[in-house]
Amino acid sequence: MSRTFKLGVLAAAVMAIAPAAQAFEAGDFIVRAGAVHVAPDDSSDVLTVGGAEALGSDARVGVDANSQLGIRATYMFTSNLGVGLLAATPFKHNITGEGDISSLGKVAETKHLPPTLTLQYFPMHSTAALQPYVGVGVNYTTFFEEKTSGALEGLDIELDDSVGVAAEIGLDYMLSEQFGLNAAIWWADIDTEAEVETLDTFDVEIDPMVYMVGFTYKF
């Protein structure tokens, strides 16, 4: 038996008994960072004054999109299940007139933080470099630094915090034992009650689709 053949057999045996590199397994802590884009699927009640449609029968407001730096973390308590937390730098949104008051343009602005906690399921074997996942959980959105502008400038405005369902689907592709690429989409049920001086209280549904691309690092 040639020396080369013997070395080949030995190498094959070592590879056979060596543990496969693990993509994700129990106890791993995974951090993802990248660009996050929030695209509201917004709607609102008709704005009224003293119960009357003083601004028009279709006087509504809308919320524009915004992009920020997002940071997400997952703790794997099995090789297929993890708990994920979304955080981000504060999102800033312009609030604009819609329908009968669309000519008013921007009427207010606000910032918000949307921490979201999800239970995530990873269906692939832990040795796979490609790791798709789905998640479902709860979103808490807190609004702050609200202020009016344009036609409503000088009036007080307040947006109530929101608690709602969130769902996500994502994909990690591990380039090495620690580093990888990530892409994810999620939806959150975000509804707020708006109080604006001189106007009746009205509801605003934001319900955004959220998109993220970035990098993955596993501890």
How far apart are the C-alpha atoms of 179 and 182, rounded to whole Å?
10
Q: Residues 33-45: pLDDT tens digits?
A: 999 999 999 999 9
Q: What domains are there in the chain, each with its CATH number?
A: 24-218 (2.40.160.20)
State both tokens at 162.
Answer: 């929101």
pLDDT of residue 187: 97
Supply the pLDDT for residue 15: 39
**Which residues are bridge partners to 40 per DSSP?**
none
Q: Which residues of the chain have pLDDT under 50?
A: 2-20
How far apart CA 13 and CA 4 sit, in angstroms, is: 14
Position 55 scores a pLDDT of: 92
Distance CA 196, CA 157 (A): 4
Q: What is the pTM of this model?
A: 0.84
For residue 12, which phi and psi values (nearest 5 degrees)? -65, -40
Cα distances (Å, whole numbers) of residue 47 to 75, 191, 207: 44, 16, 19
CA-to-CA distance for 93 and 125, rounded, in angstroms?
A: 40
CA 120 – CA 167 distance, rounded (Å): 10
pLDDT for the residue numbered 54: 87
